[in-house]
Amino acid sequence: MSLRIVLAEDAALMRAGLVSLLEGLGHTLVAAVGDGDSMLAAAREHRPDLVVTDVRMPPGFTDEGLRAAVKLRAADPSAAVLVLSQYAATAYAAELLGPSGRAGVGYLLKDRIGEVADFADAVSRVAAGETVIDPDVVRQLLNRPRTTNPLDRLTTREREVLGQMAEGHNNPSIARTLGISDAAVAKHIGKIFTKLDLPEADGHRRVLAVLTYLRS
Amino acid sequence: MAYVVSSVAVISIAWLAIVPLLLFPPLLLLVGIPIGALERPRLGFLEPLTVPDPHAPAPPSGWAWVRLRVTEAATWRELGYGACLLSVLALLDLAAVIVVFLCLVLLGLPLLVGLGANVRFAVGTWTVETVGQACAVAGLAGVPATVVTLYGISVLGGAQAAFAKWLLAPTGTEVNRQVEELARSRSRLVNSFEAERRRIERDLHDGAQQHLVLLTMKLGLAERQLADADGRAGELVGEAHEQARLALATLRDQIRGIHPQILTDFGLGEAVRELAERCPIPVEVDLDLPGRLPPEIESPAYFAISEALTNAVRHAAATRIQISGRLNGQRLALTIVDDGRGGAEPSRGTGMRGLADRVAVVAGTLEISSPRGGPTTVRIDLPCRYE
């Protein structure tokens, strides 16, 4: 499906690369801008299917892109945003998932655009309203050493399912990836929620709940 | 002795140098400065430590230099010293050198008489005529006179040096000012290192990392194109893709070591939590901070914690680490405890000492207690104005 996309990336070379990649994937770039404020303006003007933004942009070159993305999601719950970061840290993902919106949201390591298939998949999932969290971030959280590790109570399969949930996959997607039935996925998820004492939720809130749990 | 004799040399040179200055009297006001500069190293004959320069750093030449020097007390003390040196001390030292000369003549009298030199030594009507008489004079008068003279000269030298030091060495305030200036320049240096690290981090992100990301992207696209093609090309591109990915991952880790972006974006709490997540052993983090701290505090605190974690894992073979931090009024107190085997010596290894220095720059302290058998406790205390 061809998407109308607003891209915010300040580095000219990277912007050109992303434009050619996204166009190569069959999408239409309605605007390609270089800072957070222009991104907000372009999103208001074009009402795109998806906004793809860099984290570090002018004027301060810190986390302007992330702040603009959070602002956009708070102002317009229907705006889907995919944030590309040079740096994988759960704090960024947590910040981004903070304001609850109906639309899709994604946090990917910039390196991920090298995995063309994964990147293409993430773009369409976020545009379709799903949540996408970079596998590196999830891996870091799952492998984090703990003194008392409640994750030890999970079976290997349940840990896999938990990782997939944290990355933002929905049940059919998890079933496809792990090669099991939807019903089996639902059963594993039920067990995980009971074992970890997690509140039942779905969509972003499920991802947020899992991430929050893994971070605590 | 050497001091007094060289004084005479210095005094004569100074007099010779000053004569042309008499044509332009205002310059005489500053004449103490070169005399001071010449005299301070000479105090090394008698003083175990070199006497430091009391003057503040100044522009190398021109009016600004003159204006600064004229306002300094040290300049006037040096002028006073110069005046004494060229008058009273000049006469005393000259007299001392003449007495030394006379002593030498007395001691050398037997030799002079023996060689038949044309000398006449008379006391009243009695004249020395034979070598024997000369020996008697040298022994009875020359030796005691020399001993007394040498003693007198060392007293004179000591007194003169004490006088010179009193006027030429920096006073308490001047030393304090120098210490303050040193502390300030050290803190400027550290700040500029910090700024430089950030610049290097950003350059790597915007330069090398960007090119590598684009390279992996192109290789990823090529891999897709070649997926169905026959031959080794697809495989080779796949390998190249993997190499580029590795290069990116390595670069990212190194950039984090230079200056982590999360510290800039989210502050100490989140950055330490991330350190804990990446640490190969369990780390309990209990940081209670009300918000962002000043960057000049966050940075040394972060790197000190990072180094403590690395040491605990690498050297102490710890199995768990606890990090706690509290802001008590205007001070940030951080404690890192591990259950490892202890025995860490901060004096060995540059890591912790470098950090202690960085902490000291912001007027903080870093203490390590690491008895053999453990546990190792690192305490960091930083003054912190929280806004």
Chain B residues with CB under 8 Å of A121 CB are none
Q: Check A147 against B273: CB less than 8 A apart.
A: no
State percent of chain A over pLDDT 90.
45
Chain A residues with CB under 8 Å of B210 CB are 11, 13-14
Q: Is the pLDDT of residue B316 over 80?
A: yes
The SS3 call for residue B274 is helix
Q: Check B265 against A66: CB less than 8 A apart.
A: yes
Which structure tokens are listed for A62?
A: 């810190």
Q: How much is the pLDDT for B386?
A: 60
| Domains of chain A listed by start with CATH number | 4-133 (3.40.50.2300), 139-215 (1.10.10.10)
Nearest Cα of chain A lies from the Cα of B308 at a distance, in angstroms, of 17
Please compute the mean of the pLDDT values over residues A130-135 and round it to a whole number. 90
Q: How much is the pLDDT for A63?
A: 87
In this prediction, residue B240 has a pLDDT band, given cuts at 50, 70 and 90, of very high
Please compute the mean of the pLDDT values over residues B197-217 and round it to a whole number. 88
- The DSSP secondary structure of A146-213, one letter per residue, reads -SS-GGGGS-HHHHHHHHHHHTT--HHHHHHHHT--HHHHHHHHHHHHHHHTPPP--HHHHHHHHHHH
Candidates A147, A148, A211, A212: best to mutate against B (most CBs of B within 10 A) is A147
Distance from C-alpha of B174 to C-alpha of B186, rounded to nearest angstrom: 18
In this prediction, residue B242 has a pLDDT band, given cuts at 50, 70 and 90, of very high
Give which of B267, B260, B264 is closest to B291, Cα–Cα: B267
Query: Is CATH 3.30.565.10 what the domain over B263-383 is classified as, yes or no?
Result: yes
Q: Check B220 against A114: CB less than 8 A apart.
A: yes
Q: Name the residue with tokens 């902490």.
A: B359
Q: How much is the pLDDT for B119?
A: 67
Is B241 within 8 Å of chain A by CB? Answer: yes
Please compute the mean of the pLDDT values over residues B281-296 and round it to a whole number. 88
In this prediction, residue A30 has a pLDDT band, given cuts at 50, 70 and 90, of very high
State the average pLDDT for chain B.
83
Q: Name the residue with tokens 């896999």.
A: A160
Q: Is the pLDDT of residue B387 over 60?
A: no
More confident residue, B37 or B287: B287
Q: Which backbone phi and psi does A102 adopt, to 5 degrees?
A: -80, -30
Q: How much is the pLDDT for B347?
A: 67
* Cα A184 to chain centroid, rounded: 25
Q: Check B213 against A17: CB less than 8 A apart.
A: yes
Q: Check A90 against B224: CB less than 8 A apart.
A: no
Q: How much is the pLDDT for B322?
A: 94
Q: Is the pLDDT of residue A48 over 90?
A: yes
Q: How much is the pLDDT for B212?
A: 92
Is B224 within 8 Å of chain A by CB? Answer: yes
Is B292 within 8 Å of chain A by CB? Answer: no
Candidates B224, B277, B281: best to mutate against A (most CBs of A within 10 A) is B277
**Range with lowest mean pLDDT among A111-125, A130-144, B183-197, B340-354:** B340-354
Q: How much is the pLDDT for B361?
A: 85
Cα–Cα–Cα angle for A142, B305, B262, rounded to 5 degrees: 60
Q: Taking the domains of chain B in order of start, what are their residue ranges?
A: 2-170, 185-258, 263-383
Other CB atoms within 10 A of residue B7 CB: 26
Checking ipTM against 0.85, whether it exceeds it is: no
Please compute the mean of the pLDDT values over residues A34-63 and round it to a whole number. 92
Distance from C-alpha of A203 to C-alpha of A104, rounded to nearest angstrom: 9
Distance from C-alpha of B285 to C-alpha of B283, rounded to nearest angstrom: 6
Q: How many residues does chain A have?
A: 216
Distance from C-alpha of B80 to C-alpha of B82, rounded to nearest angstrom: 5
State percent of chain B over pLDDT 90.
15
- Of A17, A89, A113, which is closest to B262 when you measure between CB atoms? A89
Residue B55: partners with Cβ closer than 8 Å, 6 or more residues away: B33, B69, B72, B74, B75
Under a CB-based contact definition with an 8 Å cutoff, are residues B21 and B114 in contact? no
Is B274 within 8 Å of chain A by CB? Answer: yes
Nearest Cα of chain B lies from the Cα of A41 at a distance, in angstroms, of 23
Q: Is the pLDDT of residue A10 over 60?
A: yes
Q: Check B219 against A111: CB less than 8 A apart.
A: no
Candidates A111, A121, A216: best to mutate against B (most CBs of B within 10 A) is A111
- Of A91, A95, A116, which is closest to B224 when you measure between CB atoms? A116
Residues of chain A with a CB closer than 8 angstroms to some CB in chain B: 11, 13-14, 17, 21, 24, 55-56, 61-63, 66, 86-92, 95, 110-111, 113-117, 140-141, 144-147, 215
- Of A11, A87, A90, which is closest to B261 when you measure between CB atoms? A87
Please compute the mean of the pLDDT values over residues A13-19 and round it to a whole number. 93
Q: Which residues pair with B283 in a beta bridge?
A: B321
Question: Judging by DSSP bridges, how do beta strands A4-8 and B283-288 pair with one another?
Answer: unpaired
Other CB atoms within 10 A of residue B184 CB: 10
More confident residue, A17 or B44: A17
Nearest Cα of chain A lies from the Cα of B277 at a distance, in angstroms, of 5
Query: How confident is the model over A151-173, as pLDDT tens digits?
Result: 888 888 998 899 999 888 889 98
The SS3 call for residue B325 is strand
Is B266 within 8 Å of chain A by CB? Answer: yes
State the average pLDDT for chain A.
88
Query: How confident is the model over A75-124, as pLDDT tens digits?
Result: 888 899 999 988 777 888 888 887 666 788 999 998 889 889 899 999 99
Q: Check A86 against B205: CB less than 8 A apart.
A: yes
In this prediction, residue B190 has a pLDDT band, given cuts at 50, 70 and 90, of confident
Chain A residues with CB under 8 Å of B260 CB are 87
Chain A residues with CB under 8 Å of B284 CB are 147
Give which of B313, B333, B311, B312 is closest to B324, Cα–Cα: B333
Chain B residues with CB under 8 Å of A88 CB are 252
Q: How much is the pLDDT for A50?
A: 95
Is B199 within 8 Å of chain A by CB? Answer: no
In this prediction, residue B34 has a pLDDT band, given cuts at 50, 70 and 90, of confident
The SS3 call for residue A81 is strand
Chain B residues with CB under 8 Å of A62 CB are 261, 264-265
- Alpha carbons within 13 angstroms on the beta-carbon side of residue B269 total 13
Q: How much is the pLDDT for A65?
A: 92
**Range with lowest mean pLDDT among A74-78, B4-8, B50-54:** B4-8
Q: What pTM, to 2 d.p., does this model score?
A: 0.68
State percent of chain B over pLDDT 70.
95
Please report, for residues B5, B40, B87, B88, B132, the alpha-carbon distance to residue B155 in angstroms, rounded to integers and kept in the order given: 14, 19, 19, 16, 34
Q: Is the pLDDT of residue A187 over 60?
A: yes
The SS3 call for residue B105 is helix
Nearest Cα of chain A lies from the Cα of B240 at a distance, in angstroms, of 12
Distance from C-alpha of B256 to C-alpha of B329, rounded to nearest angstrom: 31
**Range with lowest mean pLDDT among A34-38, A92-96, B9-13, B373-377:** B9-13
Residues A7-43 as b/e (b if ≥16 CB within 10 A, e otherwise) read: bbbbbeebbebbbebbeeeebebbbbbbbbebbbebb
Please compute the mean of the pLDDT values over residues B237-247 and round it to a whole number. 92
Q: Check B213 against A24: CB less than 8 A apart.
A: no
Q: Is the pLDDT of residue B108 over 70?
A: yes
Distance from C-alpha of B12 to C-alpha of B181, rounded to nearest angstrom: 37
- Of B221, B270, B320, which is closest to A24 when you measure between CB atoms? B221
Q: Is the pLDDT of residue A21 over 90?
A: yes
Question: Judging by DSSP bridges, how do beta strands B331-338 and B321-328 pair with one another?
Answer: antiparallel
Which structure tokens are listed for A172?
A: 């059919």
Q: Check A13 against B279: CB less than 8 A apart.
A: no
Please compute the mean of the pLDDT values over residues B104-124 and round it to a whole number. 76
